[in-house]
Structure 1
């Protein structure tokens, strides 16, 4: 039984959650994500509570769309050279999560190698509680840069994430079935470990999407909006029955974003994509139904 069926839909229904990652990153992202949520162009977002602009994001939500579907974007990395952030936990030492400068490491691989699981647990709790204290009614959780998944070293931190999901009643971004995108091959060891982790999550009552997808994060030299749009529409036409989460990174391309971000133009393309009339026609033609993470959270609550 796929997650769509568990939600009460037919097994052949294609349900799509469009989630905007990195809410709270900067003002440009905050304004764009809030606009897309209020327009109904996307279904949900996840907030980075470690970023200086997270309080601005929470204030925008409260003012414009207080009932928006927003989760916590658990963050253990700080990837840009000119813009940094570090752990929120203040109740105990989390020294394994930060370098001597106090910032998170730049890469997921470094985070995997150094992170102490107990310190990760305390940091995930701190980020979650910060979102709740900011007045956000959290609907789910996911992992910034995939730092909880163990892609680089095999040292995943998913069982720690599951512990926190259970405490706060949050479904989690872990696809029940891995789906290669863009011709990539998924190594067998990752496939095997993912199956084990999916079973462990579901045994604990955590609701998961069937699939996770999205466009390439980077923009290749010479790429245009039309090329990015064609890539996205091909992904939509290839969706399988069940619940798919689409990972989006929308923003306006502003001087603020350009000051630190390596791919600002791609973020604006992603915002334009979900407002594009041709994309809406593809959704209709393919019979794709847009839902939110709150639907999965209600299912999870019913299992308790």
Structure 2
């Protein structure tokens, strides 16, 4: 089995960035996805360039913080903050033209850093929302990169980064027995979503998921890789 441990939220805070780099240098993390509206994006870009072996994708955002595109109306409030949250499935479908405009802006800002774009995923998995499927496939086609697995996209496997996504390495599911769990998945290539960090005060102020990231980092840096696993 091929396993890609991807670290989400790169660029959110310096503690997140440092934790991701630690889990790459001394652990199993092979890729990270960059939040282009995160407060610590510049630090993340600098860190990524110091560690070119770390594959970096984009963590498209529509449910946290402020938009990057200035010319938006329906998908942001008067302060420019996105209207959607993690419970987006209970909310109205966003305007597709504005969503595409904002996400293309995020992608172009990513490319302007000079980092090669590895893949696309999203904050709170909003890219897997069925109404956004055609937009996601169009972005994957235009930017020539794969997209994180989502049930809504599994009918288009040629666009997907892996055959499956493991999201249970989170909260109470953070465990060193991760490989025992992965072995039961009927897939040859799996992505594991992770959130390693040094839980700094900045993170605690903006995220409800902070302290468990310390444990994620520690476990990701101490895993023993079984013979049947190839780490990507």
Q: Give the 4+ runs in structure 1 shifted more than 6 A.
A: none
**In the alignment, is the contact (CA less than 8 A) between 2:6 and 2:32 conserved in 1?**
yes
**In the alignment, is the contact (CA less than 8 A) between 1:15 and 1:242 conserved in 2?**
yes
**In the alignment, is the contact (CA less than 8 A) between 1:121 and 1:161 conserved in 2?**
no
**In the alignment, is the contact (CA less than 8 A) between 1:215 and 1:232 conserved in 2?**
no
Partner of 1:262: 208
Q: 1:42-75 CA distances to partner (integer Å, 9 max, x unpaired)? A: 110100001121111101112x213420100011
Select 1:87's aligned residue among 54, 64, 67.
Answer: 67
**In the alignment, is the contact (CA less than 8 A) between 1:209 and 1:245 conserved in 2?**
yes
- Count residues in correspondence: 231
TM-score (norm 1): 0.69
Partner of 1:198: 154
Select 1:141's aligned residue among 120, 123, 138.
Answer: 120
> Could you say if the C-alpha distance between residues 138 and 40 of structure 1 is closer, same or farther in structure 2, counting changes exceeding 3 Å?
farther
CA distance in 2, matches of 1:102, 1:28: 26
Partner of 1:32: 19
Q: Shift in Å at residue 233 of structure 1?
A: 4.6
1:70 has 2:56 as partner: yes
Partner of 1:214: 167
Q: 1:236-269 CA distances to partner (integer Å, 9 max, x unpaired)? A: 3434341100000110122332233223221111
Partner of 2:35: 48
Partner of 1:157: 132
CA distance in 2, matches of 1:233, 1:66: 26
Structural mapping, 1:220-239, within 5 Å: 228-229=174-175, 232-239=178-185
Partner of 2:85: 107
Q: Shift in Å at residue 40 of structure 1?
A: 5.0
Q: Shift in Å at residue 22 of structure 1?
A: 0.4
**SS of the residue aligned with 2:114?**
coil
Partner of 2:46: 59
1:240 has 2:193 as partner: no
**SS of the residue aligned with 1:138?**
coil
CA distance in 2, matches of 1:138, 1:43: 14
Q: 1:178-219 CA distances to partner (integer Å, 9 max, x unpaired)? A: 5xxxxxxxxxxxxxxx3xx433x34xx524411100325335
TM-score (norm 2): 0.89
CA distance in 1, matches of 2:99, 2:3: 30
**In the alignment, is the contact (CA less than 8 A) between 2:169 and 2:194 conserved in 1?**
no
Q: 1:20-54 CA distances to partner (integer Å, 9 max, x unpaired)? A: 00000011001111222233521101000011211
CA distance in 1, matches of 2:58, 2:169: 22
**SS of the residue aligned with 2:182?**
helix
**SS of the residue aligned with 1:259?**
helix
Select 2:105's aligned residue among 117, 126, 130.
Answer: 126
CA distance in 2, matches of 1:228, 1:109: 23
**In the alignment, is the contact (CA less than 8 A) between 2:27 and 2:221 conserved in 1?**
no
Could you tell me which runs of 5 or more consecutive residues in structure 2 were left unpaired when the two chains were aligned: none
CA distance in 1, matches of 2:128, 2:187: 25
